[in-house]
């Protein structure tokens, strides 16, 4: 399994995903640094990404849109904070309106990518997502971290099972 | 893919951040409950339970309906379903991304440089 851990830390307002790949650091870096590779994994198969701008330098931008099954095209952007190939990349990650302008109603997350060489040519990738505010954290994650909620959610899921799936 | 982050979602999460309110949602999803019946279940005042119900109603998690002298509360399955999806969504987004990166790297290895 590639994902080795996912840790959500409410205090620090972060979610950290750790994964390991059977490929050297330089190769893993390419999936971020090569826009054609990036667009093969950033969006899910139902929402493939098309990367337009791709400037991985401090202050530089990455802009993209995803194409949904109904032709909808949600747009997003990165603003590069810092970059140290092939080990570190930090950027703000936000959504944009149809004209490509940042959407202020959606919280902006900061994503820090770290690539670390392991033995046998393997690489550990750590993705730390930091949320800007407790409210944004609430919106996106807070409940996921509460065992009580997870329990309630699974109970609720059980209650929902016999019902016909709506959406 | 795009996590639903509108204000309504924020309200749902904040409403569910409280154990009593989660319990009210779970119970009223199973069966309609009166506010006074709910109030008997928790060590708090009727007014406090009313307030919890109002928060849940504002979030769309329950609906209230007056029946004679009672106010009946019903859990809103659709809202709960949406909330439980959002919870897992961001995590699921990254699991999906990591799997796709893995696929790209595996392809690189097969088709590209020998190691």
Instruction: Give the start-to-end residue ranges of the domains of chain B.
Output: 7-111
Q: Give me the pLDDT at residue B36, please.
A: 95
pLDDT tens digits for range B52-108: 999 999 989 999 999 999 999 999 888 877 766 655 566 767 878 888 999 999 987
Chain B positions in Cβ-Cβ contact with residue A31 (cut-off 8 Å): 101, 104-105
Q: Give me the pLDDT at residue A24, please.
A: 92
pTM: 0.61
Q: Give me the pLDDT at residue B49, please.
A: 96
Instruction: Flag if A156 and B5 touch (Cβ within 8 Å).
Output: no
Question: Is there a contact between A125 and A6 (Cβ–Cβ < 8 Å)?
Answer: no
Q: Give me the pLDDT at residue B3, please.
A: 39
Q: Which long-range contacts (CB under 8 A, 24 or more apart) does A68-76 make?
A: A73/A98, A74/A47, A74/B1, A74/B2, A75/A100
Q: Give me the pLDDT at residue B9, please.
A: 64
Q: Give me the pLDDT at residue A71, please.
A: 86
Q: Give me the pLDDT at residue B93, please.
A: 76
Chain B positions in Cβ-Cβ contact with residue A19 (cut-off 8 Å): 98, 101-102
A120: left (phi over 0), alpha (psi -120 to 50) or beta: left
**Closest approach of chain B CAs to the CA of A62, in angstroms?**
17
Q: For residue B74, what is the enclosing H or E element? A: strand B70-75
ipTM > 0.90 for the complex: no
Distances (CA, A) of B87 to A29, A48, A69, A150, B80: 29, 22, 23, 9, 11
Q: Give me the pLDDT at residue A68, please.
A: 82
Q: For residue A93, what is the enclosing H or E element? A: strand A88-96
Residue in the block written with tokens 């509360």: B73
- The domain that holds A52 is classified in CATH as 3.30.530.20
Residues of the domain holding A110? 3-133
Chain A positions in Cβ-Cβ contact with residue B2 (cut-off 8 Å): 47, 66, 74, 95
Q: Which residue has the higher pLDDT, A130 or B46?
A: B46
* A73-112: b (≥16 Cβ within 10 Å) or e: ebbbbbbbeebeebeebbbbebbbeeeeebbeebbbbbbb
In this predicted structure, the answer to whether residue B20 has a pLDDT above a threshold of 90 is no
Q: How many domains does chain A have?
A: 1
Closest residue in B to A144 (Cα) is: B87
- Is A24 within a domain? yes
- Is A117 within a domain? yes
pLDDT tens digits for range A77-125: 999 999 999 999 999 988 888 888 887 766 788 999 999 999 999 999 9
The domain made up of B7-111 has a fold known as Arc Repressor Mutant, subunit A (1.10.10)
- Is A71 within a domain? yes
- Is A150 within a domain? no
**Closest approach of chain B CAs to the CA of A45, in angstroms?**
9
- Is A149 within a domain? no
Instruction: Flag if A149 and B102 touch (Cβ within 8 Å).
Output: no
- Interface check A145 vs B, CB under 8 A: no
Q: What tens-digit pLDDT sequence spans chain A (167 residues)?
A: 477 777 766 667 788 889 999 899 999 999 999 999 999 998 878 788 999 999 999 999 999 998 988 888 889 999 999 999 999 999 998 888 888 888 776 678 899 999 999 999 999 999 998 887 656 655 555 433 333 333 333 433 443 444 344 44
Instruction: Flag if A152 and B6 touch (Cβ within 8 Å).
Output: no
Q: Give me the pLDDT at residue A138, please.
A: 57
Please give the DSSP secondary-structure letter assigned to residue A151.
H
- Is A96 within a domain? yes
Chain B positions in Cβ-Cβ contact with residue A125 (cut-off 8 Å): 98, 101
- Is A160 within a domain? no
- Is A153 within a domain? no
Please give the DSSP secondary-structure letter assigned to residue A165.
P
**Closest approach of chain B CAs to the CA of A6, in angstroms?**
8
């Amino acid at each position: 399994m590639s994902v080795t851990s996912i840790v959500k830390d409410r205090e620090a307002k972060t979610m950290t995903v750790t994964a390991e790949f059977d490929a050297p650091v330089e190769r893993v870096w390419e999936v971020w640094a090569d826009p054609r590779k990036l667009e093969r994994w950033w969006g899910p198969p139902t929402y493939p990404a098309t990367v337009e701008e791709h400037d991985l330098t401090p202050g530089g931008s990455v802009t993209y849109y995803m194409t949904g099954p109904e032709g909808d095209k949600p747009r997003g952007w990165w603003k590069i904070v810092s970059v140290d190939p092939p080990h570190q990349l930090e950027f703000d990650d936000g959504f944009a309106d149809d004209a490509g302008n940042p959407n202020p109603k959606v919280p902006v997350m900061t994503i820090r990518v770290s690539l670390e060489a392991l033995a046998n040519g393997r690489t550990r990738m750590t993705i730390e997502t930091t949320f800007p505010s407790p409210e944004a954290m609430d919106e996106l994650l807070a409940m996921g971290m509460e065992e009580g909620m997870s329990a309630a959610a699974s109970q609720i899921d059980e209650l929902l099972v016999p019902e016909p799936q709506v959406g | 893919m795009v996590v639903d982050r509108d204000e309504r979602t924020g309200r749902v999460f904040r409403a569910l951040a409280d154990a009593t309110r989660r319990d009210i949602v779970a119970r009223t999803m199973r069966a309609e409950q009166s506010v006074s019946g709910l109030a008997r279940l928790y060590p708090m005042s009727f007014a406090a339970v009313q307030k919890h119900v109002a928060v849940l109603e504002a979030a769309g998690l329950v609906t209230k309906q007056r029946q004679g002298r009672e106010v009946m509360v019903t859990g809103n399955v659709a809202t709960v379903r949406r909330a439980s999806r959002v919870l897992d969504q961001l995590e699921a987004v990254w699991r999906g991304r990591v799997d796709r990166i893995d696929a790209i790297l595996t392809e690189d290895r097969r088709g590209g440089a020998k190691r």
